[in-house]
Structure 1
Amino acid sequence: MEKLFNRSARIAQELQKKIAMIIQHSIKDPRINTIITVSEVQVSKDLSHARIFISFLKNDDQLNIKKILILLNKASGYIRKLLCQKMRLRIIPNIIFYYDDSFLKGNKISLILKDLVKNKKTSYFQNKIKDK
């Protein structure tokens, strides 16, 4: 039977918390003018690489998103250094930031489904009125 909480999942969860705190409090770049949320962290099995998925509070344009990703990826060495101080790991993983648009996609699907339900209800009631 597989373990419920394996080591890499626990480390990923802890990395998510620590990186979110570091981005919030330690990175003071004026070009990053939005609130960044760390939505998921995927760690390789040997814990040498980590994919950090981030999303933004505001819906920024694609150009601004790319700029922020470039800035964060350039600051990944500094973030690793701060992680070394905050976490007791033998290997601190290399960090690569990715944009996570799953919230926007989910919201879009939800709006489409609401619209379908609304249209179905109105067409149902229109058919009932015609039947009378």
Structure 2
Amino acid sequence: MESKRQQKFAGVIQEDLAAIFQREGMNYLPNTLVTITKVRVTPDLAIARIFLSFFGNTTNVQQSLQTIKLHASEIRYKLGARIKDQVRIIPQLEFFVDDTSEYVERMDKIFDKISKEERQPDTEAE
């Protein structure tokens, strides 16, 4: 479970990274909207795990993630310029694909399939 300090720090990182991607995301991935869905920070605040979702260019999500990872040091530098007065250290950034929407979609299909099947009558007699 994350402490209040970790949650607050993750919120700061998420907000500032969102602004960076909104302003300069087209430089990294043209025609793609990058959304930061979740940020998790280690207890020592040294590593931030950023979960991203990509809209627009969904043909190759892994390639988009690799492009972001190639620019991780540049993104970290820009993040540092924004939060330098609020933190002691700028965390290392680790990027991951957030597949929550795919999971929800898959579960919805399963539930739809179950609801369309005929119900078996209860065999237990009371």
Q: Same fold (TM over 0.5)?
A: yes
The answer to whether residue 43 in structure 2 is matched with residue 45 in structure 1 is yes
Report which of the two structures shows the higher radius of gyration computed on alpha carbons: 1
Residue 32 of structure 1 contacts residue 68 of structure 1 at CA under 8 Å; is this kept in 2?
no
Distance in 2 of aligned mates of 1:42 and 1:85: 20
- Root mean square deviation, CA, Å: 2.4
Unmatched 5+ residue regions in structure 1?
Answer: 128-132
More helix per residue: 1
Contact 2:34 2:54 in 1 (8 A): yes
2:66 to 53, 70, 74: 70
Deviations 1:30-50 (A, max 9, x none): 644211111111111111111
Per-residue Cα deviation, 1:71-124 (whole angstroms, up to 9, x for no partner): 1112111211221222121111010111111211111101210221132xxx35
Q: 1:10 to 1:104 in 2, by over 3 A?
A: same
Question: 1:5 deviation in Å?
Answer: 5.8
Does residue 81 in structure 1 map to residue 81 in structure 2? no
Q: Which amino acid aligns with 2:7?
A: A
Q: Is the 8 A contact 1:48 1:94 kept in 2?
A: yes
Q: Which runs of 4+ in 1 moved over 4 A?
A: none
Q: Which shows bigger deviation, 22-31 or 107-116?
A: 22-31
Contact 2:49 2:95 (C-alpha < 8 Å) held by counterparts: yes
